Structure 1
Amino acid sequence: MNYEGMPNKPIMCIDMKCFYASCVAMLHGLDILKIPIAVVANFDHPGSIVLAVSPLMREKFKIKTSSRRWEIPKHPDIRLFEPKMSFFIQMSMTITKLISNYVPVEAIHVYSVDESFVDLTGTEKLWGSPEETAKEIQRAILDQFNVPSAVGMGPNMLIAKLALDLDAKRTGFAQWTYEDIPKKLWPVRPLSEMWGIGKRMEANLNAMGIQTVGGLANADLAELEKRFGIIGNQLYYHAWGIDLSKLGEPLITNGALSFGKGQMLMRDYHTRKEISVVLLELSEEVARRARHAKKAGRTVNLGIGYSKDEGGGGFSKSRSIDFATNITKKIYTTCLDLFKENYRGQTVRNIYVSLTNLASDATVQLDIFEDVSKQRELGYVMDSIRNRFGSTAILRARSYTEGGIMKDRSGKIGGHKK
């Protein structure tokens, strides 16, 4: 692969280690490195998910992110906290403001509440080399907020992210170049260890005889494109460390952007009736997000995850419809059809709905068999009411049934307590 002409900037990807746990430790005057701490989504539910843990909680008690509350042993040293999302977001903004002391604001791309990309171009005259600047930012965050961090650096956002996930999260700091790709990235297996490859894609690639990232990089590009379309093209070039995204743009790994909403349920759902209520509420949220962006989509995706009592597993199915839509009813009925066709009575714990294959809402074709314009107009009216008076100003009757989740989520940020 010829890397001449490829992006080659000093990009760092910084991740705040155990961010939620570090924040509550600071709030309560605890040492994140000496106290076993767990942040649990909801104390009222034994099956509530663990959102973050301190290093000692992970090492001594074997509790990790995504464990359940009932798995946490009763021990006098363990400290449990519920999330304070408003405080976490405030801390994230404060840390971003600190980083802006070293680089211009436009050189920072906040990727998530605890992770950011930073372009360190031009820092040499003020703070030393990009590597020195990155380490100085790490020291400043630790000194001011007692929040440890890990930094991956690379010539583009993808390599910086890979250096972070595959190297720096163990060592604290790692810098990769294009020349490091064959040595550091290609041996990675299973494939799902690489950012951007999920379990389902891993299985598809394994079926083609591709077991490592190096195998993907040396696969036949035409065959990958034939089987996976644009995704195959992106997988191939990502395996070579090539990413043409500009700072602030998403690192696209699955074709076009999508609008999605998932929910880890607070208890097992056993009946089709209860599950259909959540499907409707998630379809409503996906449709609302699409309308907010003035987009519509032709492909509806449904993911169902089974309970641990079922041994895990689940299914993920998609269906393309005749006309692009952002109408709740159309998204819901498509999800319901996919659910009925693939569900066999298992206990459900996780549901995900997304809309892809996007187009501008202004170009949506009208259906002569349905009054689509009135449904679209109604959706926008409901959105405006919710925007003005709150997300629960208008709820469907089914949201008030036992299976509904939206009423409970309305007083939360990101699904967690404010």
Structure 2
Amino acid sequence: MTGSHALFGDTLTIAKRIQQDILDELGLYVTVGIGDNLLMAKLALDNAAKHQADGIAEWRYADIPETLWKINELTDFWGIGSRMAKRLYALGIYDIFDLSQAPESLLKHHLGVIGSQLYYHAHGLDFSKINEKYVPTEKSYGKSQILDRDYQDPVEVTIIIQEMAEEIAMRLRTSGVDTATIFLHVGYSRFSTLRGFRHQMKIQPTNSSRVIKQTLMTMFWKYYQDEPVRSIMITCGSITPKNGLQLNLFEDLERSYKSSNSIQP
């Protein structure tokens, strides 16, 4: 907010203006967290803003003993889920004050780099910057659906899978990239005794609708267990730039070209 003060006023004034703008345009009441860094603002939002009459909470470094260290549930802290909480319990750490008093060396020894991060976070220290652009190491393309009903007929399920695959393949071609890993997750009905299956298959880099569909059909019929289906998720990973077209000696050249580059199936 520092760079916006000259234009819109102090941080609290800006927060109230954002709230009012959202209320006027969308009819939604929103809460706001304010802090000296991203972490403190996030924690103020999650733990205090909803309890304030105006929906705004402000946590500063000077207030850490009365704010951050008063978080009693470890899972109410950013970055700590139920599994991490159990690991901290095993170290005799039961709340955020305990976490702040634990030696960094102990946390790092048992939790690795995450332990050091939690140590600094427990003291309100966060070195990330909001203007830093995050670039993922690997991009993936995917689509998921929770179906409107339980599908008993597997043929109907295959039609949906192929429609989803076509959409993903079109996005791959539009982006000029290939995929080399196809992942399929099929979730069964909540009334089924089985949960479903999830599997992946490595393939030659491609963005061909036909190849992606064939791969998904192979996995589906191999692992499907004659149960009603309620959810489907497809992900294409191992993304690489499209550098050329690998021809198949046993397939017509024109068909190979069209299936790899055409928007249509």
* TM-score, normalization by structure 2: 0.66
Count of residues in Structure 1 that have an aligned counterpart in Structure 2:
243
Aligned residue for 1:129?
Answer: 10
d(CA) in 2 for partners of 1:301 and 1:122?
44
Superimposed CA distance per residue, residues 64-101 of structure 1 (whole angstroms, 9 cap, x where no aligned partner): xxxxxxxxxxxxxxxxxxxxxxxxxxxxxxxxxxxxxx
Aligned amino acid, residue 160 of structure 2: V
d(CA) in 1 for partners of 2:80 and 2:184?
19
Q: Identity rate of aligned residues, in percent? A: 25
Task: Go from structure 1 to structure 2 and tell me whether the alpha carbon gap of 1:234 and 1:220 turns closer, same or farther (over 3 Å shift).
Answer: closer
Aligned residue for 1:173?
Answer: 56
Aligned residue for 2:200?
Answer: 318
Matches within 5 A, 1:2-41: none
The alpha-carbon deviation at position 153 of structure 1 amounts to 4.5
Aligned residue for 1:381?
Answer: 262
The alpha-carbon deviation at position 149 of structure 1 amounts to 1.6
The alpha-carbon deviation at position 238 of structure 1 amounts to 8.7
Matches within 5 A, 1:261-340: 261-310=143-192, 313-319=195-201, 321-340=202-221
Matches within 5 A, 1:205-220: none
Aligned residue for 1:96?
Answer: none
Secondary structure (helix, strand or coil) at the match of 1:296 reads strand
Task: Go from structure 1 to structure 2 and tell me whether the alpha carbon gap of 1:374 and 1:248 turns closer, same or farther (over 3 Å shift).
Answer: farther
1:366 aligns with 2:260: no
Q: Which runs of 5+ in 2 are unaligned?
A: none
The alpha-carbon deviation at position 143 of structure 1 amounts to 4.0
The alpha-carbon deviation at position 136 of structure 1 amounts to 2.0
Task: Go from structure 1 to structure 2 and tell me whether the alpha carbon gap of 1:326 and 1:144 turns closer, same or farther (over 3 Å shift).
Answer: closer
* TM-score, normalization by structure 1: 0.45
Superimposed CA distance per residue, residues 287-344 of structure 1 (whole angstroms, 9 cap, x where no aligned partner): 111222222222222222222222684333333x243222222222222333334332
d(CA) in 1 for partners of 2:95 and 2:205?
35
Task: Go from structure 1 to structure 2 and tell me whether the alpha carbon gap of 1:267 and 1:222 turns closer, same or farther (over 3 Å shift).
Answer: same
Aligned residue for 1:81?
Answer: none
The answer as to whether partners of 1:287 and 1:326 remain within 8 angstroms in 2 is yes
Superimposed CA distance per residue, residues 247-287 of structure 1 (whole angstroms, 9 cap, x where no aligned partner): 484685xx522211111211211122111111111111111
The alpha-carbon deviation at position 234 of structure 1 amounts to 8.7
Aligned amino acid, residue 305 of structure 1: G
d(CA) in 2 for partners of 1:182 and 1:248?
28
Task: Go from structure 1 to structure 2 and tell me whether the alpha carbon gap of 1:342 and 1:381 turns closer, same or farther (over 3 Å shift).
Answer: closer
Superposition RMSD on alpha carbons, in Å?
4.6
1:138 aligns with 2:25: no
Secondary structure (helix, strand or coil) at the match of 2:225 reads coil
Task: Go from structure 1 to structure 2 and tell me whether the alpha carbon gap of 1:298 and 1:236 turns closer, same or farther (over 3 Å shift).
Answer: farther
Matches within 5 A, 1:24-63: none
Secondary structure (helix, strand or coil) at the match of 1:323 reads strand
Task: Go from structure 1 to structure 2 and tell me whether the alpha carbon gap of 1:343 and 1:273 turns closer, same or farther (over 3 Å shift).
Answer: same
Superimposed CA distance per residue, residues 100-151 of structure 1 (whole angstroms, 9 cap, x where no aligned partner): xxxxxxxxxxxxxxxxxxxx34122232233431222102322454321233
Task: Point out the structure with max Rg over C-alpha.
Answer: 2
The answer as to whether partners of 1:163 and 1:176 remain within 8 angstroms in 2 is yes
Aligned residue for 1:352?
Answer: 233
Task: Go from structure 1 to structure 2 and tell me whether the alpha carbon gap of 1:129 and 1:209 turns closer, same or farther (over 3 Å shift).
Answer: same
Task: Go from structure 1 to structure 2 and tell me whether the alpha carbon gap of 1:266 and 1:145 turns closer, same or farther (over 3 Å shift).
Answer: closer
Aligned amino acid, residue 246 of structure 2: L
Task: Go from structure 1 to structure 2 and tell me whether the alpha carbon gap of 1:354 and 1:174 turns closer, same or farther (over 3 Å shift).
Answer: farther
Aligned amino acid, residue 21 of structure 2: A
d(CA) in 2 for partners of 1:220 and 1:365?
48
d(CA) in 2 for partners of 1:325 and 1:187?
45
d(CA) in 2 for partners of 1:294 and 1:136?
42
Q: Which runs of 5+ in 1 are unaligned?
A: 1-119, 225-232, 383-393, 397-418
